[in-house]
Chains A and B, each alone.
Chain A
Amino acid sequence: AQTVTQSQPEMSVQEAETVTLSCTYDTSESDYYLFWYKQPPSRQMILVIRQEAYKQQNATENRFSVNFQKAAKSFSLKISDSQLGDAAMYFCAYRSAISGSEKLVFGKGTKLTVNP
């Protein structure tokens, strides 16, 4: 079974600075997807960024980018120019690419605080 580990229960960053959230995972599959979701106090899980394992290029979405190291099974999220609205719980998630295995496996999450 796949597992996802987020080793940082809490992180903080100064507004306008850069922060990196860590995520490692364990799988025997070669094709899969990785996601970062954000959960603000409104509770809705919002997709931040996704990465397909067969793509070597790291995904980027505006101020959000990932460092995907497939051999190391590492998938960190970098938030640049942090904003107060970035404060939230961040969850790393794994999803198999096998058809019929649509479920996400989540890590425990990292609580990000942004200080003004």
Chain B
Amino acid sequence: ETGVTQTPRHLVMGMTNKKSLKCEQHLGHNAMYWYKQSAKKPLELMFVYSLEERVENNSVPSRFSPECPNSSHLFLHLHTLQPEDSALYLCASSQEGLRSPLHFGNGTRLTVT
């Protein structure tokens, strides 16, 4: 298996639920990202992990909690979300320092009811 894999593909959750999004990259990259894609808006960078350390957190609400246990895996833990958090969540990876482009997964379509 190659590339960037995200699971689940679709997720519907209530505002009181706790769920996690998973991302796995098989490209040997050392940086991973979470982006949020909402309708009619540019992709918004949420978090960046470089060498398993969080290097960027773009003022994301604390109900989103990222975790990067190793360079191949990235999680986004969700709890007490709001309906406006419904969006497509995209994971990406890159090889930092080699000016490589980002490689994206297929995303998780999240609906908060």
- Chain A residues with CB under 8 Å of B97's CB are 99
- Chain B residues with CB under 8 Å of A105's CB are 42, 45
* Cβ-closest chain B residue relative to A35: B101
**Chain B, range 74-101, C-beta contacts under 8 Å to A:** 88, 90, 92, 94, 96-97, 99, 101
- Chain A residues with CB under 8 Å of B101's CB are 35, 47, 50
The answer to the question of B66 belonging to the interface, with a C-beta cut-off of 8 Å to chain A, is: no
The answer to the question of B11 belonging to the interface, with a C-beta cut-off of 8 Å to chain A, is: no
A107 to B43, CA, bound (A): 8
Q: Which of A44, A50, A91, A100 contacts B43 (CB 8 A)?
A: A91
**Chain A, range 8-51, C-beta contacts under 8 Å to B:** 33, 35, 37, 42-47, 50
The answer to the question of A61 belonging to the interface, with a C-beta cut-off of 8 Å to chain B, is: no
Verify B40–A108 contact, CB threshold 8 A: yes
A102 to B32, CA, bound (A): 10
The answer to the question of A4 belonging to the interface, with a C-beta cut-off of 8 Å to chain B, is: yes
The answer to the question of A84 belonging to the interface, with a C-beta cut-off of 8 Å to chain B, is: no
- Chain B residues with CB under 8 Å of A52's CB are 99
Verify A104–B106 contact, CB threshold 8 A: no
Given that A45-B92, A102-B94 are known contacts, is A97 also in contact with B42, CB under 8 Å in the complex? no
A71 to B6, CA, bound (A): 39
Verify B42–A102 contact, CB threshold 8 A: no
- Chain A residues with CB under 8 Å of B43's CB are 91, 104, 106
Q: What are 10 of the A-B contact pairs (CB < 8 Å)?
A: A33-B99, A44-B104, A44-B107, A50-B101, A103-B45, A104-B45, A104-B102, A106-B43, A107-B42, A109-B42
